[in-house]
């Protein structure tokens, strides 16, 4: 047994940094009784017992920080004080959380930091800890024993940034086996403070598409998630501010994808959607680019208002003819969907804009889902939008 | 301009958590003069100016933490005190660092945390910040304008753990275009406290292979990186402790790969290598499994000694006949490589073991590279090992 213990130390020492305490700090001894009915979060790093989901959807966080003066858990805009025990381990329990994916931080003496027990996700402009509270009776976010597609990470050279950049691509289950088949492509955009990884990791795009395809509810399609952070400050939500990312997506990403994958390289087999900031990009680049895309999905965007001070948008000016010549747009659009979370302050503005479009005869569908400005409504938006795509034969 | 500013706020608010200060804390105002000759680290999150590499390979770290009492940077086993300015921003400069990839933490009032300005990597049993100090005259870790392979992430069901698990697969540049061609496979294992992402992210496997293949120095091959954390405590470095991971790799992962990819599914076209703990796994599973693998690479393993208290290994007992019947092993082994970093305390033991094997007539090559127990020697080990593989026609 002594040999075994020594070898375990050797294994851990693959890291030369001295952080054994970090490794161990929320690995609960097996003798400890866990709260009844509680489970470790799916987003925990290997073997960590905390953070822990309680039956009422409250979450218990833990951090070992013997020298800290104050530790809080900061989740969904609320800070919860954590309490220190005699060993310097801080524990805190939140109010019940709504189902879905929530970024969180632990606040140690005023500094927002990651929880060492959590996987990290790029959100809020940095790598963030997160928990994913399962939603009862929603089974399409679960991996099932069905054919699975693949998520690939690729580098391409961007003439916009003058550098190698990274994007993610989902290819559907039959892609590798059917070497003659060509596939339509959905270009899907993340929100502000996120990047190309968002839809594949937080969004569970591969799981949603695998399940839809297995059920025969969606066509097999490639899904491409590019990084829209092409210029500092992001250029704002106007057509002029969109030029850099339009060039990135339309002149760099799409030709790279059409060259690298077996796509059907025409507008009928290309769609675009995005969430929040990505919804604004989709409004401009998608609706002003119907020679490139045939379907458009705008999820939870703030560009129509709902964020403190954000002005509305003159739809017919920003996308010329969108209202005054709705018939032309209807002819070109196979699917046009606007969605928003029902607790998202942006919802009234998205509703209003959809109604305004409809009153001018534009064929746009509006859908809402329970939830604030978070991933659960966005996952549901993709689940809905993907079923509308590429149906025309 | 007011509209533009408002819309920028809307973009950032895709995160409902209130961490604007975290987003901004090491984004240096453009008017600030940067230290002469310094560059932002490649591993920084979008647009962050710090951490910053100085011409002498020292690194400057920064953190905004107005309420903290003490902040340090902890890199390569040394802690550097950081100094607070009047705005609560802490700055510290390290001694010159050796080239390569280094995990690091910032220590805020005694708690080791991630730097919000850094990308994160799974190492030391948690998501870690890291810097990657470029090595002069070493160009095979750089993306070039040559054909690129792809790194895919896939889920598979493991009968060992009774759960869905994740692995990473590199497919070479021609894989998608040559739909009839079948490829050999290298199974490559991470170290303790790391997982399947290590070789693809920290290790730059795709870049190393792309460059080798473009130069005609290595055969086109698939590289599979599985997660060996199949049981709590990892089972130690003995054959008995290896059974769970052997079953995972040989009975679960390999059949899944052979079913999912166009492999040549025989021992002649299968190799295994690994670093540190993964080197120990390769020693047992590879050398005891020459019906499955034809080449074996053991990088920087601690299982032969060199870590405080770790005993040596009775080679001929642990792999029956390895010394006493070296000729049989020579017949089956196409390539057998042992490597170690020259500043790694494990090197003398690896040298000794290689010499002992050679003295018994076993055909094993020993190579060393400058560096401690870190990724730079492991990247170089892969670069060397890959060139030895699948040459027999």
Q: Which range has the worst mean pLDDT, A100-114, A299-313, B285-299?
A: A299-313
pLDDT value for A47: 77
Is residue A144 within 8 angstroms of chain B, CB to CB? Answer: no
- Asked if the Cβ–Cβ distance from B4 to A238 is below 8 Å, we say yes
Q: What is the CA radius of gyration of chain B?
A: 23
User: Is the bond into A191 cis (omega within 30 degrees of 0)?
Assistant: no
Residue B166 distance to chain A (closest CA, Å): 11
Instruction: Number of A to B CB contacts under 8 A, please give it.
Output: 326
The pLDDT > 90 percentage for chain B reads: 81
- Asked if the Cβ–Cβ distance from B14 to A276 is below 8 Å, we say yes
CB B108 within 8 A of CB A113: yes
Could you give the CA distance from residue B40 to residue B49 in angstroms, rounded to a whole number? 5
3-state secondary structure of B217: coil
Chain A CA closest to residue B22: A112
Question: How buried is residue B137: exposed, middle or buried, by Cβ count under 10 Å (0-12/13-18/19+)?
Answer: exposed
Residues of B in Cβ contact (< 8 Å) with A302: 7, 10-11, 13
Residue A334 distance to chain B (closest CA, Å): 28
- HSE (CB half, 13 Å, CA atoms) of A230? 27
Comparing CB atoms, the residue among A13, A116, A373 nearest residue B126 is A116
Chain A CA closest to residue B372: A16
Residues 6+ apart with CB under 8 A from B96: B56, B57, B58
Could you give the CA distance from residue A339 to residue A279 in angstroms, rounded to a whole number? 10
Could you give the CA distance from residue B381 to residue B375 in angstroms, rounded to a whole number? 9
Does the pLDDT of residue B26 top 70, yes or no? no
Is residue B124 within 8 angstroms of chain A, CB to CB? Answer: yes
Is residue A157 within 8 angstroms of chain B, CB to CB? Answer: yes
Q: What is the pLDDT of residues B233-274, one digit of tens each?
A: 555 677 877 889 999 999 999 999 999 999 999 999 999 999
- Asked if the Cβ–Cβ distance from B238 to A7 is below 8 Å, we say yes
Distances from the Cα of B326 to the Cαs of A91, A144, A147, in angstroms?
Answer: 57, 47, 44
- Asked if the Cβ–Cβ distance from A114 to B114 is below 8 Å, we say yes
Q: What is the pLDDT of residues A54-112, one digit of tens each?
A: 999 999 999 999 999 999 999 988 999 999 999 999 999 999 999 999 999 999 999 99
Could you give the CA distance from residue B345 to residue A144 in angstroms, rounded to a whole number? 46
Res. B32 pLDDT band, cuts 50 70 90: confident
Residues 6+ apart with CB under 8 A from A344: A300, A306, A371, A372, A373, A377
Residues of B in Cβ contact (< 8 Å) with A112: 19, 21-22, 116
H or E element at residue A201? helix A198-201
pLDDT value for A287: 97
Round the average pLDDT of chain A to a whole number and report it.
90
- Reported residue count of chain A is 393
Round the average pLDDT of chain B to a whole number and report it.
90
Other C-beta atoms closer than 10 Å to the C-beta of A237 total 28
For residue A222 the two structure tokens come to 């490639």
Q: What is the CA radius of gyration of chain A?
A: 23
- Asked if the Cβ–Cβ distance from A110 to B65 is below 8 Å, we say yes
Residue B238 distance to chain A (closest CA, Å): 8
Q: What is the pLDDT of residues A24-55, one digit of tens each?
A: 444 444 567 899 999 999 999 977 999 999 99
- Asked if the Cβ–Cβ distance from B69 to A109 is below 8 Å, we say yes
Comparing CB atoms, the residue among A16, A69, A77 nearest residue B16 is A77
Nearest residue to A38 via CA among A62, A58, A20, A23 = A58
Measured between alpha carbons, how far apart are the two ends of chain A, in Å? 66
Could you give the CA distance from residue A335 to residue A329 in angstroms, rounded to a whole number? 11
Residue with tokens 């700090």, as numbered in its chain: A25
CB A132 within 8 A of CB A94: no
Q: What is the pLDDT of residues B37-77, one digit of tens each?
A: 999 999 999 779 999 999 999 999 999 999 999 999 999 88
Chain B CA closest to residue A124: B15
Residues 349-368 of B with CB under 8 A from A: none
Nearest residue to A78 via CA among A96, A52, A53, A51 = A96
**Of A3, A4, A9, A14, which to mutate for an interface test with B (greatest number of B Cβ within 10 Å)?**
A14
Distances from the Cα of B328 to the Cαs of A39, A218, A316, A392, B363, in angstroms?
Answer: 51, 55, 79, 63, 11
Is residue A12 within 8 angstroms of chain B, CB to CB? Answer: yes
Res. B310 pLDDT band, cuts 50 70 90: low
């Amino acid at each position: 047994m002594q040999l075994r213990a020594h070898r375990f130390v050797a294994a851990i020492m693959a890291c030369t940094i001295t952080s054994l305490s970090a490794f161990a700090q929320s690995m609960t001894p097996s003798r400890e009784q866990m709260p009844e009915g509680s489970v470790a979060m799916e987003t925990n790093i290997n073997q960590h017992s905390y953070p822990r989901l309680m039956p009422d959807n409250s979450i218990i966080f833990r951090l070992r920080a013997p020298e800290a003066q104050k530790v809080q858990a900061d989740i969904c805009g609320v800070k919860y004080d954590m309490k220190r025990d005699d060993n310097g381990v801080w524990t805190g329990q939140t109010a019940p959380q709504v189902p879905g994916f929530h970024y969180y931080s632990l606040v140690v003496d005023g500094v927002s930091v990651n929880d060492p027990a959590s996987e990290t996700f790029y959100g809020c402009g940095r790598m963030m800890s997160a928990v994913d509270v399962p939603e009862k009776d929603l089974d399409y976010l679960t991996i099932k024993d069905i054919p699975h597609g693949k998520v690939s990470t690729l580098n391409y050279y961007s003439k916009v940034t003058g550098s190698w950049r990274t994007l993610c691509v989902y290819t559907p289950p039959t892609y590798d086996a059917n070497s003659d088949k060509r596939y339509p492509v959905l270009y899907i955009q993340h929100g502000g403070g996120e990047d190309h990884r968002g839809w594949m990791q937080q969004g569970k795009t591969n799981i949603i598409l695998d399940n839809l395809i297995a059920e025969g509810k969606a066509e097999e399609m490639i899904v491409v998630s590019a990084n829209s952070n092409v210029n500092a400050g992001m250029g704002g939500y106007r057509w002029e501010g969109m030029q850099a990312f339009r060039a990135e997506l339309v002149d760099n990403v799409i030709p790279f994808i059409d060259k690298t994958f077996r796509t059907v390289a025409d507008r009928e087999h290309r769609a675009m959607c995005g969430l929040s900031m990505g919804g604004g990009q989709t409004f401009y680049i998608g609706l002003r680019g119907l020679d490139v895309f045939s379907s458009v999905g705008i999820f939870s965007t703030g560009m129509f208002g709902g964020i403190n001070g954000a002005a509305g948008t003159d739809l017919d000016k920003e996308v010329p003819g969108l209202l005054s010549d709705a018939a032309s747009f209807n002819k070109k659009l196979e699917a046009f969907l606007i969605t928003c979370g029902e607790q998202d302050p942006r919802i009234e503005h998205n509703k209003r804009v959809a109604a305004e479009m409809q009153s001018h005869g534009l064929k746009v569908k509006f859908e809402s889902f329970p939830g604030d400005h978070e991933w659960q409504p966005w996952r549901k938006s993709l689940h809905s939008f993907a079923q509308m795509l590429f149906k025309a034969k």
